[in-house]
Structure 1
């Protein structure tokens, strides 16, 4: 395992602990079938746009979409977070990047299941000027 991968895993674990994530399917049996989906991150005008959905997580399932900015190699700062509940629809997240210069952005989708399984999806990375 490389130092970069180790750092990324430690960083993601720290994000989980600090973020208080809770993807809680209705029953432990449904935890295995819970799926997180992530869409393509893109720029529209002065907005960074990301989206995602969850499926088979039960009515009480909660996960989190985040738009993040890269601050160094392997380092990401969360700029905006929205929660997702329910299944079967895309939820969008927007961040106004006006005046921030050239930056690299991504969207993440994450949460924990009742059984303690961590779910994480990462979108494409975009480098854009705002």
Structure 2
């Protein structure tokens, strides 16, 4: 079971790196476009939450791949950031166009998967997997 926990951790290291890269690309794009058009506060919040969420997913993955007990805290923090963002975005940030429906669906599915892994990580100390 240790190898499975480490593999999941490595997966989330990759996912966190991808989110951080996406936040960096979006930040650069916003800087380039800021002279042409104003960037809304909502867009700034989305980018900050993406970067923070990516950092927490990366940290959670590192802690899990090391089988550290801190993985529980990191996964819970990452889960809280994602849940808060999804609740906020469903009301104020997501456009209502059909084109964005697939993106919203992917975000919700990724959150559901992260929720399942977070639940598993919460039981890992009881199974003696985390130190």
Q: After TM superposition, is the score higher than 0.5?
A: no
Give the TM-score taking structure 1 as reference length: 0.25
Give the TM-score taking structure 2 as reference length: 0.25
Between Structure 1 and Structure 2, the one with more strand by share is: 1
Between Structure 1 and Structure 2, the one with more helix by share is: 2
